[in-house]
């Protein structure tokens, strides 16, 4: 057999898809699967959405790339769209979530130096995920992901998630802090939803200490939680917001949005990207944002998310193998009392694609925002049945 030519970075399920349509993926043997993961919160508009296909084809036939040495009107147009949606002032475009967070980290460091702080530090959270580059891996709160890549970067101070007192204590003792970088909901960390006033408390602490509040909305953004950005469930405005994933519906694009002083920190030469904000990427980003806004898909995510949560509560709530069923919009978790890593394989056999996170205990669902009620009910019924059978089987196994 020929040697596997790919580096061993992913533990993949044995299936290859050749076509997608809406919430469905079709494998090379003609089997169909309901995609309850959207390529990890990427394909919010589902697969082969006509607006995205049209934008790619049309723009690819006209102009793909010029470099950022020249004006890119589509980039300015997408930046305006995003600043209007978010209340931010300015945008830097890149190609991924990690790069968007790299930009945020560099903004915070430059902001700190401008204040005369030689070794600026950023508060980051336990169980967070910010990317795989060395800076974003250093910011990430997952030892398993970091192991073997030391030395990690200095300049990060870690606090438990959803613990405002811990942040206050850092504020009292560390004069080098210049910013907080935090996910409004932990994604890879297991869909942990903080207290309703968490972001507002963080905003107040940032204001009191002249720190930047930087939100990593790479997973929560673009309508996923029922608002365009998750902080829009609150009344606060952050200084920096990062996004990627759902912004391109599968076409690589990332963005770092900033407001006020954070928006003017970079000057020519401070930062850049060869590919970031190409005419093609921005044409796709415009098609995606316009579709989300014009088709009220944020509201749809909120109502469909409630229907799905209610469905799971009805069928699985109160059973002794379920620890918690939680979610916001279409970011949904079923936390099991026991490890459920095999559920991703079993669900695939039943024709549903999902992901297990949170140390193997959390079934994570990130369905497309365009999922119909019928598809959602099929997903809830199939998975509830599967989880019940799985839990019964697990409990009947002998324990040592």
Ligand X SMILES: Cc1ncc(COP(=O)(O)O)c(C=O)c1O
Give the residues lining the site for ligand X (CB under 6 A).
40, 96-98, 101, 129-131, 183, 187-188, 216, 218-219, 244
Which C-beta is closer to ligand X: that of 187 or that of 340? 187
Sign of torsion, CA 25 31 32 36? negative
- 142 by Cβ neighbours in 10 Å (0-12 / 13-18 / 19+) ranks as middle
Which C-beta is closer to ligand X: that of 187 or that of 368? 187
CA–CA separation, 237 vs 251, rounded Å?
28
Minimum CB–partner distance for residue 255 and ligand X (Å): 11
Minimum CB–partner distance for residue 239 and ligand X (Å): 17
Contacts 24+ apart (CB under 8 A), 26-35: 31/351, 32/351, 33/348, 33/351, 33/352, 33/353, 34/351, 34/352, 34/353, 34/375, 34/378, 34/379, 34/382, 35/353, 35/367, 35/368
Minimum CB–partner distance for residue 84 and ligand X (Å): 23
| CA dist list (Å): 210 to 112, 166, 179, 329, 344 | 10, 18, 8, 32, 44
Which C-beta is closer to ligand X: that of 41 or that of 380? 41
> Tokens 């279409």 identify what position?
330
Residue nearest to ligand X (CB): 97
Minimum CB–partner distance for residue 183 and ligand X (Å): 5
Which C-beta is closer to ligand X: that of 216 or that of 239? 216
| CA dist list (Å): 176 to 117, 157, 171 | 6, 10, 9
Q: By C-alpha distance, which of 271, 250, 259, 225 is closest to 99? A: 271
Minimum CB–partner distance for residue 97 and ligand X (Å): 2
Which C-beta is closer to ligand X: that of 177 or that of 244? 244
Minimum CB–partner distance for residue 187 and ligand X (Å): 4
Which C-beta is closer to ligand X: that of 33 or that of 129? 129
């Amino acid at each position: 057999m020929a040697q596997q030519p790919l580096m061993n970075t992913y533990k993949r399920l044995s299936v290859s898809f050749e076509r997608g349509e809406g919430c469905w993926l079709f494998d090379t043997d003609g089997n169909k699967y309901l995609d309850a993961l959207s390529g990890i919160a990427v394909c919010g508009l589902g697969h082969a959405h006509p607006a995205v296909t049209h934008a790619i084809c049309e723009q690819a036939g006209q102009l793909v790339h010029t470099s950022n040495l020249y004006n890119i009107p589509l980039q300015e147009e997408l930046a305006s769209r995003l600043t209007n949606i978010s209340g931010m002032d300015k945008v830097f475009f890149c190609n991924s979530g990690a790069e968007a967070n790299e930009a945020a980290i560099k903004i915070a460091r430059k902001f700190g130096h401008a204040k005369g702080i030689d070794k600026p530090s950023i508060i980051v959270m336990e169980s967070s995920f910010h990317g795989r580059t060395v800076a974003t891996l250093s910011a990430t709160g997952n030892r398993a992901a970091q192991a073997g890549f030391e030395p990690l970067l200095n300049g990060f101070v870690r606090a438990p998630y959803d613990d405002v007192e811990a942040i206050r204590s850092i504020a009292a003792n560390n004069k080098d802090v210049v910013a907080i970088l935090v996910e409004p909901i932990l994604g890879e960390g297991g869909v942990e939803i903080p207290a309703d006033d968490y972001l507002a408390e963080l905003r107040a602490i940032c204001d009191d200490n002249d720190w930047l509040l930087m939100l990593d909305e790479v997973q929560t953004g673009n309508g996923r939680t029922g608002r365009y950005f998750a902080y829009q469930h609150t009344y606060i405005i952050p200084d920096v917001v990062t996004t990627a994933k759902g912004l391109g519906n599968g076409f690589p694009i990332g963005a770092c949005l900033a407001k006020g002083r954070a928006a003017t920190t970079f000057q020519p030469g401070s930062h850049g990207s060869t590919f970031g904000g190409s005419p093609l990427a921005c044409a796709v980003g415009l098609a995606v944002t316009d579709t989300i806004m014009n088709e009220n898909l944020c509201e749809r995510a909120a109502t469909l998310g409630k229907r799905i949560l209610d469905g799971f509560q009805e069928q699985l709530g109160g059973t002794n193998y379920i620890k918690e069923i939680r979610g916001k919009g279409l970011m949904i978790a079923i936390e099991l009392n026991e490890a459920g890593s095999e559920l991703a394989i079993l669900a695939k056999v039943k024709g549903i694609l999902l992901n297990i996170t949170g140390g193997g205990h959390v079934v994570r669902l990130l369905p497309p925002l365009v999922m119909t009620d019928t598809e959602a009910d099929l997903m809830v019924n199939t998975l509830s049945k599967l989880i019940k059978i799985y839990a019964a089987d697990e409990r009947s196994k002998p324990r040592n």
